[in-house]
Amino acid sequence: MPWSVLKKREKERYHLRWTKEKNYKIAKCHIEIENFSGKSVESVCQEFHTKVFSINLAVALTHHAKEVAAKSCEKKKYAYRINVVQALSKMKNSLVLLFFRLHIMDLLHQLFDLFVATTEPVRPNRKFYRKHTVRKRNIYVYCKPVR
């Protein structure tokens, strides 16, 4: 097969894999799923499942918020989407409150309103050309933890 055909197939496969790679980035960099404060097996299991639960709850709450944000931005120039890192940060701050408050619907409505308010425009065909210089860094800017 010609080289150009192989490159085209590789690009297609990469785009199919993109959502999984994005989810790994969220789990590893923003949530820090591999960073545990406890030392025992039980505390590590609890932290891991808490982090997975917070990701799932944030995604569940942002699912409907995406539709509301899309409807409110129909007349704007660009399409808008929910800022996932902001949603995870707000979820992390209020996760404990969901278990201790008697009436959690008010808190869920506040979170929903925050998710709708923190939208970002999606600009199509936007490209930033990379400078091919090698710099050694210890902390990568694009992989900041949530808080």
Confidence of residue 137 (pLDDT cuts 50, 70, 90): low
Q: Say if residues 38 and 46 touch (Cβ distance below 8 Å).
A: yes
Reported as a single tens digit per residue, the pLDDT across 57-86 is 888 888 888 888 878 777 788 878 888 888
CB neighbour burial string for 22-46, b if at least 16 within 10 angstroms, e if fewer: eeeebeebbbebeeeeeeeeeeeee
**Quick one: pLDDT at residue 31?**
80
Q: How many Cβ atoms sit within 10 Å of the Cβ of residue 91?
A: 24
pLDDT tens across 34-63, in order? 888 888 999 999 988 988 888 888 888 888
The structure tokens 């409807």 sit at 71
19 within a domain of the structure (yes/no): yes
Helix H or strand E encompassing 82: strand 79-82
- Find the mean pLDDT for residues 83-112: 86
Residue 34 included in any domain: yes
What is the reported pTM?
A: 0.68
Lowest mean pLDDT among 1-5, 6-10, 32-36, 139-143: 139-143
Q: Is residue 5 a part of any domain in this protein? A: no
DSSP state of 38: -
Whether residue 126 has pLDDT greater than 80: no
Q: Identify the sign of the CA torsion 25, 29, 32, 35.
A: positive
Q: Would you say residue 38 lies in a domain?
A: yes
The count of structural domains within the chain is 1
Asked if residue 92 belongs to a domain, the reply is yes
Whether the pLDDT of residue 144 is over 70: the answer is: no
Structural domain contains residue 102? yes
Interhelix angle for 105-117 vs 41-72, to 10°? 60
Instruction: Identify the residue with better confidence: 18 or 53.
Output: 53
Query: Computed from CA positions of residues 96, 58, 29, 129, in that sequence, does the dihedral angle turn out positive or negative?
Result: negative
The mean pLDDT of 102-114, rounded to a whole number, is: 88
Exposed (0-12), middle (13-18) or buried (19+): which is 104, by Cβ within 10 Å? middle
Q: What is the pLDDT of residue 147?
A: 64
Residue numbers of the domain that contains 69: 11-124+137-143
User: Binning pLDDT at 50, 70 and 90, where does residue 134 land?
Assistant: low
At 15 the pLDDT is 74
